[in-house]
């Protein structure tokens, strides 16, 4: 796509005539579409935006846009506005100064746009119409009809457009259907792109519109994607198109690339099919190395070969292939993003996600679960951002799909409304109260002259010890002197006991694993070789060493936990003694038998190597 590419975006969302309802989507449409079309990595268009201009300025710009087109140019015109139908049944596009009674003079007719497309020298022209045809007028408007049986595409039929080589017209809706802005047409909603334009932007940005994954997005692929996207979200809106074109027209690049698996070398294939299972184990190790190669075709071919071994070979070899596949899976870091509380309309927050694994695993595409989630590729992985235009709790999954499998990233956020209710005022302080022991106000020093001097408060002997705590009439008593906080309880004993139980479980697993490996070695002993050689090949000695070490560690940690329980009685939680004793007892119950079995097996191992 090295030929010149030009795009003109016309967005009208404000109208001087009171009969035309103000729109919310066109402003967002212009920004979002211009950004993706102008991206050199995606659309690579030279983009001009015309917003809320009068009809004469729009007509002049449109005619110049098509007149300046050269033979090898690709021209794209996008209208986002009201679509008006006159009494005679002709289609017009509303401008800022459009008067419904004077459409010929104050609006842009579809006939005028069609004639401009007919006279251009450019051989590839595309017209996108994201227009709200129905519901555009309030009651009492005259001069236009919001309903009727006009088919929008009929306004562009009958003439050869774009020099007779290639042209297309794609509409957000047809036959005077509504072109929905978001999920509704109601007033007062936050601005956001319409369903149609959002589908165009999403398909181009994510590369999902590249249905055949060849790295290029054609006009047919984009229409199929937009059609399914719009119909899935609103069954009452049906995008339409009419095309007269030789060959395909490619509108954008795509980050999606189909990886074709390469056949593995014949020598490696022979090792996979060798009768000696050691040769097949060597083939698994070599395939694991190939899966981590930056050559995606080679890596995918090796991964498919590992999956074949996993399903068809004996269990020993299949387990090795399964482990090799597990080590080459995609691993997002982190696996959960919590953006916390965000203010509605605030700047979109961004979080980075690292994609771990070999190049084949990192070659994946992101599939957001909702429109409020945005993703962009970075050198390390992904940049995830949140749309804060709609308040509410946002929870969804970001699905990462690639040739090496899938991974799920959880994304959460809470968008709070801009005008939050003011906090409730604090309750007034309670009135002063006398000590509970006195049923009446304190006695006055001079009952005969109640107004000669201020009253005094009788002080109890307990309060005289602290002059600062004396109270005066009309004021609440001063706060009591704070007492030192109790020592923070320690969780050391339960943690030690829990670690002991974990090591005991590892020890039991190691003993069981050593037994399984010993049995597998004994089975192979019947066919060929000696038992000692097979025991060494399966790593029985290493597994027994792990069992002995973990059993010893479990017993030591359990003893430390019981010692800590008796040495620090003042810093324990109320439930610590019971929890610690239960965990330590379970650790001993598992570790002691496992230790005995491991010791017996360790003693028998050299004997088996020497005599069997």
Q: What is the DSSP string of 174-232?
A: -TT----BTTB--TTPPP---HHHHHHHHHHHHSTT-TT-SSEEEHHHHHHHHHHHHHH
- Identify the pLDDT of residue 284: 92
Q: Which residues of 259-298 are buried (b: 16+ CB within 10 A; e: fewer)?
A: bebbebeeebeebbeeeeeeebbebbebbbebbbbeebeb
- Identify the pLDDT of residue 32: 84
**Rounded Cα gap, residues 184 and 59, in angstroms:** 30
- Identify the pLDDT of residue 474: 45
- Identify the pLDDT of residue 66: 94
Nearest residue to 559 via CA among 594, 607, 592:
592
Regions in the chain scoring below 70 on pLDDT = 1-2, 24-25, 133-165, 174-193, 255-258, 419-491, 524-538, 565-577, 605, 607-612
- Identify the pLDDT of residue 516: 81
- Identify the pLDDT of residue 63: 95
- CATH ID of 331-416, from 3.40.50.620, 2.60.40.10, 3.40.50.920, 1.20.120.450: 2.60.40.10
- Identify the pLDDT of residue 489: 43
**Rounded Cα gap, residues 28 and 15, in angstroms:** 17
- Residue 33 CB partners (closer than 8 Å, separation 6+): 9, 78, 197, 200, 201
Interval 52-64: pLDDT, tens: 999 999 999 999 9
Token pair in block for residue 383:
């940049």
DSSP secondary structure code for residue 20 in this structure: B
- Identify the pLDDT of residue 564: 75
CB 557 within 8 A of CB 579: no
Nearest residue to 402 via CA among 293, 290, 299:
299
**Rounded Cα gap, residues 83 and 110, in angstroms:** 10
Report the CATH number of the 5-253 domain: 3.40.50.1460
- Residue 178 CB partners (closer than 8 Å, separation 6+): 132, 133, 134, 135, 185, 236, 237
Q: Which residues of 396-409 are buried (b: 16+ CB within 10 A; e: fewer)?
A: bebebebbbbebeb
**Rounded Cα gap, residues 125 and 4, in angstroms:** 12
DSSP secondary structure code for residue 42 in this structure: T
- Identify the pLDDT of residue 305: 92
Q: Which residues of 137-166 are buried (b: 16+ CB within 10 A; e: fewer)?
A: beeebeebbbeeebebbebbeeeebbbebb
- Identify the pLDDT of residue 454: 43
């Amino acid at each position: 796509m090295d030929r010149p590419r030009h795009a003109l975006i016309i967005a009208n969302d404000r109208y001087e005539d009171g009969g035309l309802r103000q729109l919310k989507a066109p402003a967002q449409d212009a920004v979002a579409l211009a950004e993706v079309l102008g991206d050199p990595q995606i659309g690579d268009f030279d983009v001009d935006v015309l917003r809320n201009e009068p009809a004469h300025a729009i007509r002049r710009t449109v005619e110049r846009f098509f007149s300046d087109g050269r033979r090898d140019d690709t021209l794209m015109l996008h209208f986002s506005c009201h679509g008006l139908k006159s009494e005679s049944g002709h289609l017009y596009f509303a401008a800022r100064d459009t008067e419904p009674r004077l459409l010929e003079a104050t609006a842009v007719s579809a006939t005028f746009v069609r004639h401009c497309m007919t006279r251009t020298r450019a051989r590839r022209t595309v017209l996108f119409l994201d227009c709200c045809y129905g519901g555009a007028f309030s009651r009492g408007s005259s001069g236009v009809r919001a309903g009727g049986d006009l088919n929008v595409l009929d306004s562009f039929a009958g003439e050869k457009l774009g020099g007779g080589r290639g042209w297309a017209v794609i509409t957000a809706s047809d036959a005077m259907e509504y072109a929905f802005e978001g999920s509704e047409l109601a007033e007062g909603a936050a601005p956001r792109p319409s369903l149609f334009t959002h589908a165009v932007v999403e398909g181009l940005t994510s590369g999902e519109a590249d249905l055949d994954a060849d790295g290029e997005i054609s006009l047919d692929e984009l229409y199929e994607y937009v059609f399914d996207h719009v119909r899935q979200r609103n069954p009452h809106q049906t995008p339409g198109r009419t095309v007269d074109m030789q060959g395909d027209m490619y509108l954008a690049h795509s980050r999606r690339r189909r990886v074709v698996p390469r056949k593995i070398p014949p020598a490696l294939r022979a090792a996979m099919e060798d009768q000696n299972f050691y040769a097949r184990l060597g083939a698994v190790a070599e395939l694991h190395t190939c899966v981590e190669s930056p050559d995606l075709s080679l890596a995918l071919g090796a991964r498919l070969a590992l999956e074949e071994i996993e399903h068809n070979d004996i269990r020993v070899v299949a387990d090795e292939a399964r482990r090799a596949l597990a080590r080459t899976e995609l691993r997002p870091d982190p696996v959960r993003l919590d953006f916390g509380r965000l203010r509605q309309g605030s700047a979109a927050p961004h979080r980075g996600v690292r994609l771990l694994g070999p190049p084949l695993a990192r070659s994946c595409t992101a599939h957001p679960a909702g429109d409020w989630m945005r993703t962009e590729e970075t050198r390390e992985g992904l940049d995830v951002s949140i749309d804060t235009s709609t308040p509410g709790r946002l929870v969804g999954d970001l699905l990462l799909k690639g040739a090496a499998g899938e991974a799920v990233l959880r994304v959460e956020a809470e968008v709070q409304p801009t005008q939050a209710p003011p906090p409730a005022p604090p309750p007034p302080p309670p009135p002063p109260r006398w000590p509970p022991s006195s049923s009446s106000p304190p006695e006055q020093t001079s009952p005969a002259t109640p107004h000669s001097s201020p009253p005094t408060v009788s002080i109890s002997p307990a309060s005289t010890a602290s002059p600062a705590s004396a109270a005066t009439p009309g004021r609440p008593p001063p706060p009591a002197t704070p007492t030192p906080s109790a020592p923070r309880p320690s969780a050391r004993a339960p943690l030690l006991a829990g670690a002991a139980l974990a090591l005991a479980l590892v020890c039991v697993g190691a003993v069981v694993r050593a037994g399984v490996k010993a049995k597998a070695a004994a089975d192979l002993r019947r066919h060929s070789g000696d038992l000692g050689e097979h025991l060494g090949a399966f790593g029985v000695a290493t597994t027994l060493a792990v069992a002995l070490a973990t059993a010893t560690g479990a017993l030591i940690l359990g003893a430390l936990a019981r010692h800590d329980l008796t040495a620090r009685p003042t810093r324990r939680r109320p439930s610590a003694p019971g929890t610690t004793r239960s965990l330590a007892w379970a650790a001993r119950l598992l570790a002691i038998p496992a230790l005995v079995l491991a010791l017996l097996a360790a003693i028998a191992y050299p004997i088996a190597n020497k005599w069997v």
